């Protein structure tokens, strides 16, 4: 109970719970929309989904300030690749949160005569670019993990579980090279759960902006599942900070 209270006292914890509820309602409404006699249930689910989305926008007001500070901190990183990608990702988050605040103001009637569709498109693009840079960071870190894992195997006289010997030249065949690569990738991700969880989360999050931008259109069921998986990972990483990727 103490852990739950501590979790819900965090703004990120509340946002993750709202987000999980939002996507769960999206998934359930998609599953029930074609079933006879479920019209009222679907309507209620969509209403809850809309309320969760509005609530999350309210929670995110002012988050662009945190994104600006994160951008400043990223500039201090010594690794050029991480510095560039993380700074670019956070700058896109600044723009995304700014657009998100405008959308919230439009939805509650604080401003008028503003094209909501254009601001939603701008927000989606900024979110999409931010996710791409975060995925680039994941790929970069995974590559470092693979290199570290490979060096460790070589020091132990093994390469992806294969002993050095007369058959070493034969192991350079395409099949064995691929087998060695995927085995090393598996070991790298198994030994580094934070990067695995972060990669899965970012891939799941990518489906929604891809659909909205018309790059890869899918349905609300797929978006609901991917959003729910991403939200659950977010809840886990907030509850267990040791599983959160640290750059």
Stated pTM of the model = 0.85
Q: Distance between CA atoms of 29 and 225, rounded to whole angstroms?
A: 12
Burial (CB count <10 Å: 0-12, 13-18, 19+), residue 149: buried
CA distances from 205 to 162, 184, 200, 230 (A): 37, 26, 9, 7
Cα–Cα distance, 170 to 185 (Å, whole number): 21
In whole angstroms, what is the distance from residue 47 CA to residue 164 CA? 63
**φ, ψ at 173 (rounded to 5°):** -60, 160
DSSP 241: G
Query: Does residue 171 contact residue 159 with C-beta atoms inside 8 Å?
Result: yes
Residue 159 sits at φ, ψ, to 5 deg, of -130, 105
Which one is predicted more confidently, 198 or 112? 198
Phi, psi dihedral angles at 245 (to 5 degrees): -70, 130
Residue 130 exposure: Cα atoms within 13 Å on the Cβ side: 19
| DSSP result, 76-129 | T-SSHHHHHHHHHHHHHHHHHHHHHHHHHHHHTTS--S--HHHHHHHHHHHHHH
Could you read off the pLDDT of 56-68 as tens digits, one per residue?
888 888 788 889 9
**Predicted pLDDT of residue 1:** 58
Residues 125-180 have pLDDT tens digits of 999 999 999 999 999 999 999 998 888 777 766 544 444 444 445 555 777 778 88
Quote the pLDDT of residue 142.
Answer: 95
């Amino acid at each position: 109970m103490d852990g739950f209270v501590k979790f819900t006292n965090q703004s990120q914890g509340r946002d993750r719970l709202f987000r999980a509820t939002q996507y769960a309602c999206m998934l359930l409404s998609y599953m029930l929309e074609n079933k006879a006699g479920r019209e009222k249930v679907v309507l209620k689910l969509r209403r809850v989904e809309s309320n969760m989305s509005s609530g999350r926008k309210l929670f995110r007001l002012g988050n662009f300030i945190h994104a600006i500070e994160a951008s400043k901190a990223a500039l201090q990183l010594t690794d050029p690749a991480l510095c560039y990608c993380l700074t670019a990702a956070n700058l896109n988050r600044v723009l995304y949160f700014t657009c998100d605040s405008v959308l919230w103001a439009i939805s509650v009637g604080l401003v008028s005569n503003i094209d909501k569709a254009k601001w939603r498109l701008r927000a989606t693009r900024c979110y999409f670019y931010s996710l791409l840079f975060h995925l680039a960071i994941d790929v970069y870190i995974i590559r470092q993990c693979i290199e570290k894992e490979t060096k460790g195997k070589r020091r132990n006289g093994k390469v992806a579980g294969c002993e050095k010997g007369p058959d070493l030249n034969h192991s350079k065949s395409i099949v064995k090279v691929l087998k060695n690569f995927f085995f090393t990738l598996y070991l790298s991700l198994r030994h580094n759960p934070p990067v695995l969880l972060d990669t899965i989360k970012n891939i799941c999050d990518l489906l929604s902006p891809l659909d909205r931008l018309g790059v890869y259109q899918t349905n609300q069921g797929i978006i609901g599942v991917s959003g729910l998986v991403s939200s659950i990972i977010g809840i886990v990483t907030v509850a267990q900070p040791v599983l959160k990727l640290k750059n």
